[in-house]
Amino acid sequence: MPITLDATDRALLTLLQAEGRLTNAELAERVELSPSACHRRVRALEARQIITGYAAQVDPDKVGRALTVLVLVTLENQRRETMQAFELAVEQVEEVMDCYLTTGAEDYLLRLMVRDAGDYERVHRERLSGLPGVARLVSNIAMRKVFTRTALPIVQAGSATRKALSGV
């Protein structure tokens, strides 16, 4: 169940997702709180695990991870032990950025970031094909990224959120 958030919480979350490097003073001013009240509100959002962390967004091209590969994984069976073994092992493959348990014909969807096709061939051969329980891998190479969203829409963004985002 989603946690009920008031207008100030929604404004804080929207701002932090858009501009994570805002100082507490800047954030407080944008949501019309005192710095101490703003700090308490952000800490409460962290304590409730609504804010789960902070991270820099890195350009994959500039760090040698220009190729995105989406891999559909079918396991030999869906027994709990097989799935657990696969999940523990796939988490150790550093090129795997996301792993989703899915419905449909395949069991998992992986998103990998690699240098190039040759690097993906190496990862496929040395790591993915040897993962426990894997019966089949289907790879799809992304030709280009159309867009990426990193900010979740915060529902019921009222006037406080709009005002905070406008910088007024």
Give the closest residue to 167 by CA, choosing from 10, 19, 17: 19
Give the total number of structural domains in the chain: 2
What residues make up the domain containing 101? 60-141
| pLDDT tens per residue, range 125-147 | 999 999 999 999 999 999 999 99
**pTM of the full predicted structure?**
0.83
**Separation of alpha carbons 132 and 107, rounded Å:** 13
Is the same domain home to 64 and 49? no
- The Cβ of residue 27 has, within 10 Å, a number of other Cβ atoms equal to 21
Name, in order, each residue with C-beta under 8 angstroms of 128's C-beta and a sequence gap of 6 or more.
71, 73, 93, 110, 134, 137
Is the same domain home to 49 and 69? no
Q: Render the burial of 128-154: b for 16+ CB within 10 Å, e for the rest.
A: beebbbbeebeeeeeeeeeeeeeeeeb
Task: Look at residue 124 and tell me if it is in a domain.
Answer: yes
pLDDT at 155: 73
pLDDT at 168: 42
**Separation of alpha carbons 55 and 65, rounded Å:** 18
Task: Look at residue 93 and tell me if it is in a domain.
Answer: yes
**Helix locations, the chain, DSSP H:** 7-18, 24-31, 35-47, 80-90, 117-126, 159-166
CATH of the domain at 46: 1.10.10.10
**Separation of alpha carbons 164 and 38, rounded Å:** 13
Q: Which residues of the chain have pLDDT under 70?
A: 156-168
Task: Look at residue 29 and tell me if it is in a domain.
Answer: yes
pLDDT at 167: 57
- The Cβ of residue 86 has, within 10 Å, a number of other Cβ atoms equal to 21
Task: Look at residue 163 and tell me if it is in a domain.
Answer: no
